[in-house]
Amino acid sequence: MDGERLVTEVAVEVAKTATNRVFNGLALICGPAAKELGQYFADQVRAWRANNAAQILDETGAIIESIEPVLSAQPRIVARVLEDGSWTDDPTLQSLWAGLLATSCTAEGGTDENLLFFDLLKNMTTGQARIIANVCDDMPIVDGMKYQVQADETIERSTSEWLDISGCTSVLELASSLQRLRTIGLIHPNGGHVSERSADDSVEVQPTPLCLHFYARARGHFGDLRDFYKIAGAT
């Protein structure tokens, strides 16, 4: 009985600590609505989700805390991130949620321009997120407009390399992941086709302008996309 009581006490303390981190993060990001949002969230989730949410809020705070003037987000945007983002404990996905929440913060009290990106991320697997990160980090970008840039070429890797990058455990899982990314418009439809004949066969992937925009915001970049992708001549 003493052992069971100890486990219960530890669980309660973990939940309390995670919830306190959520409250502190909310106070930084959404000001007056923090208490109400925090109480709602505490009533709805257990320690595991609270800890996930706290991690996202910690990362968000790290992005915006040094920016002047003070930035904040719309309460409904924060609530959306808490609800959807807290279902993952994967660091890759948590960082993307944090970036999107950070770039939803403005000096005027927030913007809802990232809502489309929330929908994309909500249904994204860890493997898909890793693929997106890999191609966007390595992709040569040609000059575009302030909020739309174009990929200059495709990224070509072997099936086995894509398996290592994504963490997918089978060629079928990799093929399904790439098919999903094509379907939602994040990679071009003429790429990402996987052959099951050999792990040495090459697979070409090219991110769309939507993907490049999503990734920059999810990495916590505000403003001109050309600055994020370091395009020569960007202002």
Per-residue pLDDT of the chain (235 residues; tens, 9 = 90+): 443 443 334 334 444 556 567 666 666 676 666 666 666 556 555 677 888 988 999 999 999 988 888 898 998 898 899 889 998 999 999 999 999 999 999 999 899 999 999 999 999 999 999 999 999 997 777 767 777 888 888 899 999 999 999 999 999 999 999 999 999 999 999 888 887 766 678 999 999 999 999 999 999 999 889 889 876 444 4
Q: Are 107 and 70 in contact (CB under 8 A)?
A: yes
Angle, to 10 degrees, between the axis of helix 91-102 and the axis of helix 115-122?
A: 170
Tokens of 153: 């070429």
In-domain check, residue 234: no
Q: How many residues are present in the chain?
A: 235
Give dist(CA 183, CA 137) in Å, integer.
21
The pLDDT, as a whole number, for residue 123 is 93
The pLDDT, as a whole number, for residue 8 is 36
Tokens of 95: 């960082």
Any residues with CB less than 8 A from the CB of 104 and at least 6 apart, and which? 73, 74, 77, 110, 111, 112, 113, 114
H-assigned helices in the chain = 2-30, 34-44, 47-64, 75-85, 91-102, 115-122, 126-138, 159-166, 171-183, 209-218, 225-228
Domain range for 49 is 2-122
Same domain for 183 and 207: yes
The pLDDT, as a whole number, for residue 172 is 92
In-domain check, residue 233: no
In-domain check, residue 133: yes
In-domain check, residue 235: no
The pLDDT, as a whole number, for residue 160 is 93
In this structure, what are the phi and psi dihedrals at residue 108, rounded to the nearest 5 degrees? -95, 5
Tokens of 164: 């290592």
The pLDDT, as a whole number, for residue 176 is 95
Same domain for 66 and 46: yes
The pLDDT, as a whole number, for residue 184 is 96
Any residues with CB less than 8 A from the CB of 210 and at least 6 apart, and which? 185, 186
The pLDDT, as a whole number, for residue 46 is 66
Q: Domain total for the chain?
A: 2
Same domain for 92 and 35: yes
Same domain for 204 and 135: yes
Tokens of 98: 């944090």
- The SS3 of residue 202 is strand
The pLDDT, as a whole number, for residue 9 is 40
